[in-house]
Structure 1
Amino acid sequence: MLTTIEAMNQAVRNAGGRISEEDFLYAVKELKEADGQETTIVSLKANAFNSTRMKKAGVIRVTIGKDRQVWLADQAEALMSGNTVAMPTMSQPASPTKAFNDTPIATVQVGGVFYGVPRNSPEALAEMSDMLKSLVPKKVGFVESDRNEMRLIANRYRRSLEGDTIKSHILLVGPTGCGKSLLAKDFFAELNTPLLRINMSDGITEDQFIGTRTLIDGEVVFQDGVLTMAADLGIPFLADEINGARENILMALNGLMDTGMLVIPDDNNRVVKAKAGFMVIGTMNPPDDYAGVNAMNMATKNRFTYSIPFDYLPSDQEVKVVMQQTGFTDEEMVVNIVNMAGDLRRLKKDHQIESDTSTRMLVQLVDELRDLTISEAIRYVMLGRYSADERPQVEAAARARIADFV
């Protein structure tokens, strides 16, 4: 007879890999330690995947909907008695093919799950379109947050849901790794609303962005590109590094943001009207602070209702984010690491170093403390990202803040 853990692991595998066994076991371990409960099907069904309790336990790497939580527990319970339970059809999209996740040009987020869209695969774009059409309706509720930027995203998304897809666009401008994209991803993950993300500086073509005629299943059809799909289906569109886009790509985006409509000459001048829910969230690094970063032209800037300067979080909030992202529980160590990062950021503001010390880097650093000492993590995760001239100052900052760094 299967044990509880064995049954839950099998249920996770049957779920098509929506969450990994590693994340599941990590969640169970953390919740058991936090709540002092035995790991049984009853306690799992009642508590283990409750998002509020998971956040209190410092576990945020597993994000699944309530119907899926119940299904996993029911499936495990049935497996223990030798039976199976059908998966609910609307809890998550159908499992994509392997090709769907190879060499992505864009990613689609649903809840906390991401799928990649291959760069040269019209079939995968068609599959993504079908997947998005099958999703559950959006929730018209908003994430509570003390971050003003989150409130502004909620404000604009509400406008879009009410049908105003012209005045709903937001530009986030800030240093690399400070959480611009993560803020948008977290917002829509909490709503369980699909989010289509693309890196605009990654050589995307007009065919991939707008669409092109192609042969699918022996028939010539027009396959919508990622922007057309987002507008036509009312999906929020996260355009990372938007100032790196090609001019023809920006012209198409500008027209859609300005009028709420996209004209496609290659599809018999079809007019796509942006549906409620569509909005553009652009991100970029400030060009004055980064060599080689393009300044955004004023025509595109003027299409955004809000242009929000973004910076690293205050240290107390950054500590919480790093601990939540990693599940690391040694708060004193994380405080010291964040203080070290603050010292390095001040050196950059004083033009003594040029490299960023991003929140993303801190998350990666702390995550490696499961396997490395703090000295090893700083050397192998951090130092290589700074120039040879900057490394002595990084090491000095580490010694000043972290007693165990040698």
Structure 2
Amino acid sequence: MTHFSSRRIVAIQLFVAILFISSCNQPPDPEEQIENILELLELPANQWVKYHHADNGDWWKKGHAGMAYDSKRGSLLIFGSDTHGKDWDNTVHEFSPAQRRWVQHGENSPQTSYRVDAAGIPVSGIENTQPWAMHTYDGIEYDPVSDSLFAIAAPDHNPIGKTISPSGKNNPIWKYALETQKWQALQSNATQKSNFFAAATAFDTARKALMICSHGLWSLKSGTQTALKIFSSPDCLHSSMAYDSWHKDLYLFGTYRPSNLIWKLDRDILTDEPVEWLKLAPGGDSPPPFTTTPVAFDQQAGVFLFVADKPGKDTNSASTFVYNPTKNQYYKLANVHLPKVGMNFMMTWAQEYKVFFLVTGGWDNGITVWALRLDLKMLEANSTTLSHS
């Protein structure tokens, strides 16, 4: 069997796997979808490829929004708004790589529907209850156990809160069931009040828990209703949290004041309880100090990928780096060019396609989906960085 034939069989298998769980009512022709999947499987190594672009219209990539990967449907899920009275986006937007198109889940709530319910929770919507439009940063995460999208955020920067009292008194964690496309506000623990504005999150697959960094480290176990504070944390404002599934570790990338240091949560080897946050200074190809950076973990290669804007007000490009947690070392991808990403929490690694997806854009240039297939052996072989780890 030829290499092309075997890849085509894999593409057909992936197409069949997502055929019956797609959110798109009028999907493209099956052959077109198979060709899209084949393109992803055959991507050139260590290069960003512009996979899809949509000119700005009624919706575009929001800097304050977050993204998660729906591993059941093989799709990207975005939720969040730039708010400040100009952006009222409070619906989920889904991108199917196989179908190469965006789908919006429902409609944005009319501003007249914004209110605070009897429990003191800011809600909106007429037929269905929805969260307020809000900044979500890195607070968007998918839970594969419950097949739900979580929004860990607060509408602090939505000015409508100044006219609706008592807004912000009870900002819950929001759970969005993908099967029914319905939102549910999880009740907060009265003894552990927390405002999860600008939280950083990651799903810990080993412990089956959503981990939240916001004035401490919180854990929301799958199937439960309440997040519990389990440890202290660094300041997570403008940070991105990512999970290393190889070593079962949590990492924080980026800080409010740009830095190229990384935080790692150290746990007791016997009890698995958190012990301390380690501040790491990796060797290798050091990136410029970064903040609000997109990052994701490659479960096949066991490394993180992230993008850092080049320093300087007049620069309009970004560089791509790999962080190897085993070696505590950075590698820069050579001759890899991207436009400046700015505030961005929209990168993921897709198990089905073995590629990274990155979403960029803005109100003036729409929304672009990039794809990259990492070949770590090729990167290390061509790197001038020598590791003595």
Task: Choose between structure 1 and 2 for higher RCO, CA contacts under 8 A separated by at least 6 residues.
Answer: 2
State TM-score, norm by structure 2. 0.27
Larger Rg, first or second structure (1 or 2)? 1
State TM-score, norm by structure 1. 0.27
Counting strand residues as a fraction of each chain, which structure ranks higher?
2
Counting helix residues as a fraction of each chain, which structure ranks higher?
1
